[in-house]
Amino acid sequence: MNTIKVLCVENHEEYLDAMKYMLETAGFEVVSATTGRQAISMLTKNSIQGVLLEYDLPDATGTAVRAEMKRVKPDVPVLLFAGIGSQTPFLLRFFDSYLRNMERPDWTFQDLDA
């Protein structure tokens, strides 16, 4: 069975380490970045199958980084999040379930704004 490779982007090293640990414990191969520029570089240089992307990065917003990621590799799912804390286990379980099943949800966050 092939390991799913994910890119975890978080500018706080302590949070990044915790997220990497949880993802690796769940069986993912994890590459990481702490800036938007590093994240785009990692995405283009690796066979990434999913991205966890922090919104508040030192060199760009998560939405700008996500837009560039979708331009470069439109089929790679990107889960954008803001802040980390008590919701982290839920976020990682959602990401895990989505990537293992590779089923796109029948709604988007844009649908919620409509």
CB of 16 within 8 A of CB of 41? Answer: no
Rounded Cα distance between 38 and 101, Å, is 28
- Domain 5-113, CATH: 3.40.50.2300
User: What are the domain boundaries of the chain?
Assistant: 5-113
Q: What's the CA dihedral at 50, 21, 91, 84 to 10 degrees? A: -110
pLDDT given at position 19: 85
pLDDT given at position 84: 61
Task: Give pLDDT tens digits for 52-73.
Answer: 999 889 999 999 999 999 999 9
Q: Which residue has the higher pLDDT, 68 or 80?
A: 68
Q: Model-level pTM?
A: 0.77
Number of residues that make up the chain? 114
pLDDT given at position 109: 43
Sheet (strand 5-9) strand order:
29-33, 5-9, 50-54, 78-81
